[in-house]
Amino acid sequence: MTTTTIRHHPSEATLLAYAAGTLPAALALVAATHLARCPVCRDMVAAAEAIGGTLLDSLSPAEMEVDVAAVDQVLERAGLPPAAPAPVLHPDLAPPLNRVRMGRWWPIGRGVRWRPLHVGGRAWAGLLLAQPGRSIPSHGHAGLELTCLLSGGFRDGGEEYAAGDVAEPVGEHDTPPVAIGAEPCLCVVGFEGMRFHGWLGLAQRLGRW
Ligand SMILES: [Zn+2]
């Protein structure tokens, strides 16, 4: 995969939220998957983090004393060693997904499978694998949804997406996204408040994921 093929990036708002550490873990994982492949967005996040660090430096000591979160951020920015990285669980996947705990694959429609990722927090994430020509199950959004393609491609809303691209749809899909090309479409999806329709929605409500 070459970075020059990336044409679709997360929105500026999403990248800023990532830099500020305010994205839910599931969505941050998808953003990080894209950032690992996209120097353009890495530069934007680095610039945003630099601005955030300057703002923290401008706080008075009194303000720092009462803002535990800010102190944590300062410690982080001071370059203190992070906790030991999680072990590599999935050598077949590229970072950061290779260290994420996952459930089993579930069939969620004809030619479509879903594998939940165990990331915690108030949003959900999973791998979605769709055979060529198959549609992603019908669903609506009550919050942010972020998808990063790992291989293959799909078409959504008249746009085509390839490996490394990010789709950040707003509202309902006019038509379900469909896998295109000759190889299966594998992507990582993070979402808050997405509700599947039909029997898939029933499985979701039963807490299977
Ligand atoms: Zn990008």
The per-residue pLDDT for range 15-62, each reduced to its tens digit, is 999 999 999 999 999 999 999 999 999 999 999 988 877 766 676 655
Compare 5 and 70 and report the one with higher pLDDT: 5
Sign of CA dihedral 196, 186, 29, 41: negative
CA of 9 to the centre of ligand 1 (A): 4
Q: Please state, for a pLDDT cut of 70, what percent of the chain lies above it.
A: 72
Neighbours of 138 (CB within 10 A): 15
Q: How far is the CA of 121 from the centre of ligand 1 (A)?
A: 24
Distance 35 CA to ligand 1 centre (A): 6
**Residue 148 CA to ligand 1 centre (angstroms):** 10
CA distances from 130 to 35, 54, 180, 184 (A): 23, 44, 9, 6
Residue range(s) defining the domain that contains residue 173: 7-209
Q: Is residue 78 part of a domain?
A: yes
Ligand 1 centroid to 167 CA: how many Å?
A: 11
Distance 176 CA to ligand 1 centre (A): 24
For residue 99, report the distance from its CA to the centre of ligand 1, in Å.
Answer: 22
Tell me the C-alpha distance between 51 and 174, whole Å: 38
pLDDT tens readout for residues 162-184? 999 999 987 666 678 899 999 99
Instruction: Give me ligand 1 centre to Cα 60, in Å.
Output: 35
Asked if residue 2 is part of any domain, the answer here is: no
Q: Which residues are within 5 Å of ligand 1 (an ion), measured at CB?
A: 9, 38, 40-41
Q: Are 109 and 179 in contact (CB under 8 A)?
A: no
CATH of the domain at 43: 2.60.120.10
131 within domain boundaries: yes
Instruction: With respect to residue 1, please indicate whether it lies within any of the assigned structural domains.
Output: no
Confidence at residue 109, expressed as pLDDT on a 0 to 100 scale: 85
For residue 203, tell me if it sits in a domain: yes
Strand ranges across the sheet with 153-156? 159-161, 153-156, 178-180
Q: How far is the CA of 142 from the centre of ligand 1 (A)?
A: 24
- In the chain, the number of structural domains is 1
What spacing in Å lies between the alpha carbon of 14 and ligand 1's midpoint? Answer: 11
In angstroms, the CA 185 to CA 205 distance is 26
Phi-psi region of 158 (alpha: psi -120 to 50; beta: other; left: phi over 0): left
What percentage of residues in the chain have a pLDDT greater than 90? 52
Predicted model pTM: 0.79
